[in-house]
């Protein structure tokens, strides 16, 4: 993960203290996305695993990094952003993204349907074909994501497991922004109505330049009414 190693931390309290100290050091640089992560060894399926806990905003560590980490092994990464929650799940195997999703019925990756039976087993409301099942009860997606990670690693993440760990701390540097060519909005509402829009980088750049030019243009105030006459210097009747 290309981290700098600032030391160790005892339990989640030590990890949180180190992360908060890092943000204090960064001051008002709110755009910086570096963060402190803690790692430690824990027994799981087929041997020991490295469990990593980090406060990265909840969107998971950068894909190129995870692809490298999973070479010759497996990386399973459930994450959440808190607040109005976005719960994401990523499963990498030998450098390949096998399955990822926010909504379990909209899966992506090289094998998006391989985990359908496990998704159903941990409570996600899916049919046997992997479609959303309106008749099934809803589920706590954060809890279900952790349960799915349990199935794939043999590690049950509990409060005591995280709180009692002796973490090796690492300062994860800000990742370079990925190049992009377009932005797509694809939303289907509760009535089945779909909104699909795609904007290319060129269109967005042109709109940004136009907005910037308009914002920097001089402000001209005009009026169709004649100017008021100032009579303060004239005497009565003049």
Condensed to tens digits (0 to 9), the pLDDT of residues 46-66 reads 899 999 998 876 555 666 778
Overall average pLDDT of the 195-213 stretch: 82
pTM over 0.85: no
Separation of alpha carbons 101 and 145, rounded Å: 10
Give residue-wise pLDDT tens across range 179-199. 667 777 878 777 778 888 888
Distance CA 95, CA 181 (A): 24
pLDDT at residue 92 in the model: 94
Beta strand 35-44 pairing with 96-101: unpaired
Domain residue ranges in the chain: 4-172, 182-216
Q: Residues 126-183: pLDDT tens digits?
A: 999 999 999 999 899 999 999 999 999 999 999 999 998 999 998 888 766 566 677 7
Name the residue with higher pLDDT: 219 or 105: 105
More confident residue, 213 or 161: 161
Beta strands in the chain (DSSP E): 4-10, 35-44, 47-54, 74-80, 87-93, 96-101, 166-172, 182-188, 194-200
Angle, CA 87 vertex, CA 118 and CA 147 arms, to 5°? 35
Q: For tokens 């905003």, name the residue.
A: 57
Instruction: Please tell me the distance from the alpha carbon of residue 119 to that of residue 132, in angstroms, as a whole number.
Output: 11
DSSP classification of residue 228: P
Residue 32 has pLDDT above 80, yes or no: no
Residue 224 predicted with pLDDT over 80 = no
Looking at per-residue pLDDT, the higher value among 224 and 24 belongs to: 24
| Per-residue pLDDT at 104 | 92
Segment 64-121, tens digit of pLDDT: 778 888 999 999 999 888 766 788 999 999 999 999 998 999 999 999 999 999 999 9
- Name the residue with higher pLDDT: 233 or 87: 87
Structure confidence at residue 226 as a pLDDT band (50, 70, 90): low
């Amino acid at each position: 993960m290309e981290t700098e190693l600032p030391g160790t931390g005892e339990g989640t309290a030590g990890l949180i203290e180190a992360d908060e100290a890092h943000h204090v050091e960064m001051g008002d640089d709110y755009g910086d996305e570096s963060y402190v992560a803690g790692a430690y060894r824990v027994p799981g399926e087929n041997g020991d695993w490295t469990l990593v806990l980090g406060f990265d905003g909840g969107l998971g560590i950068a894909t190129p990094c995870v692809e490298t980490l999973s070479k010759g092994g497996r990386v399973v990464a459930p994450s959440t952003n808190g607040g109005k929650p976005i719960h994401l799940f990523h499963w990498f195997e030998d450098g390949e993204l096998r399955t990822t999703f926010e909504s379990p019925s909209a899966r992506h990756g090289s094998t998006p349907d391989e985990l359908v039976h496990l998704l159903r087993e941990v409570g996600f409301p899916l049919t046997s074909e992997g479609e959303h099942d309106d008749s099934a009860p809803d589920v706590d997606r954060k809890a279900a994501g952790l349960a799915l990670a349990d199935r794939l690693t043999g590690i049950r993440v509990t409060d005591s497991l995280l709180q009692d760990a002796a973490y090796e701390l690492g300062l994860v540097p800000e990742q370079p922004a990925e190049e992009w060519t377009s932005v797509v909005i694809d939303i289907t509402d509760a009535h089945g109505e779909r909104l699909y829009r795609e904007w290319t980088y060129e269109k967005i750049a042109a709109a940004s330049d136009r907005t910037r030019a308009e914002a920097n243009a001089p402000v001209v105030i005009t009026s169709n009414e004649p100017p008021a006459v100032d009579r303060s210097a004239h005497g009565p009747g003049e």
